[in-house]
Structure 1
């Protein structure tokens, strides 16, 4: 896999923890086991844009009051949505 930062071919799929502020600004949540990329060459660890978009869309479309301070990526994505898609995205 190619690293988006240093373009080295030593990047690997990994599962990392990240922190997101809820859309209403009420709190931040820890999201564990997020599909991510880790590069041995430059040391960068990141989530690809489509994963970030999925998380942000999901947080916009669910009842975030039911989320504890920590949740796994898969648990987050399994929460039923109010709407099928984010109509606020241009």
Structure 2
């Protein structure tokens, strides 16, 4: 169990949820189901950890997003074939 990033209570548990993500080119958003999430039983907030957000953002930069369906699972997104070796826009 981890502390909730929103309320600070030690009530956040690992789970999954559905999120909507805008593609890097801004043309549309996609639905990602079964996305890893932290869910707080105290305040009810469900959110993605920074590492999950980075994984999604990097993957979206590395694949051909024009071929993505409107809805897919997090796992399907992460298994999509990459056209680049790395995210050249990540300067961290």
TM-score in terms of structure 1 length: 0.94
> 2:9 maps to what in 1?
8
* Alpha-carbon distance in 2 for matches of 1:88, 1:23: 11
The count of residues paired between Structure 1 and Structure 2 equals: 90
- Report SS of the residue matched to 1:59: helix
Give runs of ≥4 in structure 1 deviating > 4 Å.
none
* CA RMSD after TM alignment: 0.9
* Alpha-carbon distance in 1 for matches of 2:10, 2:90: 33
In structure 1, the gaps of 5 or more residues are: none
Residues 4-55 of structure 1 deviation map (CA, whole Å, 9 limit, x = unaligned) = 1222111111100000111111111000000000001111110001101110
In structure 2, the gaps of 5 or more residues are: none
- Deviation of residue 82 (structure 1)? 1.2
* Counterparts of residues 45-84 of structure 1 (less than 5 Å): 45-84=46-85
> 2:20 maps to what in 1?
19
